[in-house]
Amino acid sequence: SAVISQKPSRDICQRGTSLTIQCQVDSQVTMMFWYRQQPGQSLTLIATANQGSEATYESGFVIDKFPISRPNLTFSTLTVSNMSPEDSSIYLCSVGRGGANYGYTFGSGTRLTVV
Amino acid sequence: QKEVEQDPGPLSVPEGAIVSLNCTYSNSAFQYFMWYRQYSRKGPELLMYTYSSGNKEDGRFTAQVDKSSKYISLFIRDSQPSDSATYLCAMSGGSNYKLTFGKGTLLTVNP
């Protein structure tokens, strides 16, 4: 299965600022997914990033708050914009395992604290 | 009613015990069922994958799916301290590639 490198692993940010999270995959993949994992909550899909097209956002998530780039088949970024303490969470990127219904491979996550 | 329900625990067992982890779901379209293990400060890793109903065994781990009851289980035999982690159930259905996760159960296996 694919190996995913995610940066940064953690960060502490001031409210009102933005943070860009990078996700690098060691093989070409069509779809990359960004998830949020809040304490005591289920992993929640933020958006699906397709190379060459706009990302598809899930209900409750908007592009102005979480802009995504997908410049090629091995790389994507997620930006958390104009952060507030409510954005404190773990953010994870993932890719399908040869067909998304066969499960996903996840990066190690970015632990974000907004103060 | 949430689509996937999972008791968050925490669950604490002695080494060698048999562990049973469970999820219920409401969406009858789900056909693919997975269990992920997540160690502290790590991303989830796929542990078991099952399609439709039935059992699947992999070493000390057994996954069961009962679609008629909308109930899935993960059994861990001869549990080890290294099994201490959060276990997440996840499922998807048909052409919908999206995974729906449970909240996860925190398991501690005490030596």
Closest in A41, A101, A106 to B44, CB measured: A106
pLDDT at B1: 65
| Cis? peptide before A85, omega within 30° of 0 | no
Optimal mutation site among B30, B97, B98, B103, interface A, most CBs of chain A within 10 A? B97
pLDDT per residue of chain B (111 residues) written in tens, 0 to 9: 678 999 888 999 999 999 999 999 999 989 889 999 999 989 999 999 888 888 999 999 999 999 999 999 999 999 999 999 999 999 988 666 778 999 999 999 999
Q: Do B44 and A40 touch (CB under 8 A)?
A: no
Segment A56-61 shows an average pLDDT of: 94
Q: Do B101 and A104 touch (CB under 8 A)?
A: no
DSSP label of A100: G
pLDDT at A52: 80
pLDDT at B22: 97
Share of chain A above pLDDT 70, in %: 95
Q: Are B70 and B22 in contact (CB under 8 A)?
A: no
Residues of B within 8 A of A102 (CB-CB) are 32, 49
Q: Are B56 and B9 in contact (CB under 8 A)?
A: no
